[in-house]
Structure 1
Amino acid sequence: MKYLLTSALFLFIGSQALAAEITPGNLIGKYKVEARAGFQKVYLNFRVVNTKEFELQRYYSNGNVDETCNGTFSLNPTLFWDFQTFATGKMFKGVFTCPSNRSRTIDFNIDFDNKRTEDLVKGTTVTVTSSMARGMRINAYVKKQ
């Protein structure tokens, strides 16, 4: 019985480590993003380079790719009145430019709601708002590679 309880304790501790809260440090990595805006489907390669910078590149189903754009981000708590949501929800606020026109900046927000790092590994849906589509809330499927 003692070994069973010890094993259960280690399993619980290990599962909590895998289901960590989203932080700038554990976002680092490559992601595949698929979103639908109206009748248009958008595919992105998204890479968080470090705790403040990211790169993104749009690609098409026929194999063509756009230029790689880069930007900066911050990760803030979501501002809901529900204390549990406020404590665990995260909002990714990003701003980026592309090499072809550095004077044009595009900002966007990704609402992770109550997602954890394991959700990103398995693949999950998040809500995106952007200056490119004012007033629209776009659902995007994100999966860490």
Structure 2
Amino acid sequence: MDRAWWKTYLDDVRLTFRGDRLSSARSINGVETVRFYQGGNSGAGAMSLAEHFGARRIILLGYDCGYAGDGKRHWHGDHPKGLGNAVSMPKWAAQFADMAGHLGNCKIVNASRRSALKLWPRQRLDQALEGA
């Protein structure tokens, strides 16, 4: 997942990020390959990766699954040419529905401020963290 992203940003990541570098893509120098159900988009993949490492409760933040009022697709601005810019958003509802079937061991709460994603119960973040 996201081989093109790693190719573009790996040098920056090496300089600034000290955590584990993980991907389902193989043979990326300096990035550990982890086998997990990817789910078709990075948000679904992140949920699956969390379960892979033992999460049994996942709180979603920033899963708005829609464009901003000004048309922006990411909080950080668009990726450079050649990287995905949420053009597959129309597929996300089905991809998250599929992911729901793979996360049977997890309780999922959507604490995003706004979200088009209706699969999991919504809660304010402070309420979701009370149950942590």
Shorter-chain TM-score tier: under 0.3
Give TM-score scaled by structure 1 length: 0.23
Q: Which has the larger radius of gyration?
A: 1
Identify the structure with the greater helix proportion.
Answer: 2
Q: Which has the higher contact order (CA 8 A, sep 6+)?
A: 2
Give TM-score scaled by structure 2 length: 0.25
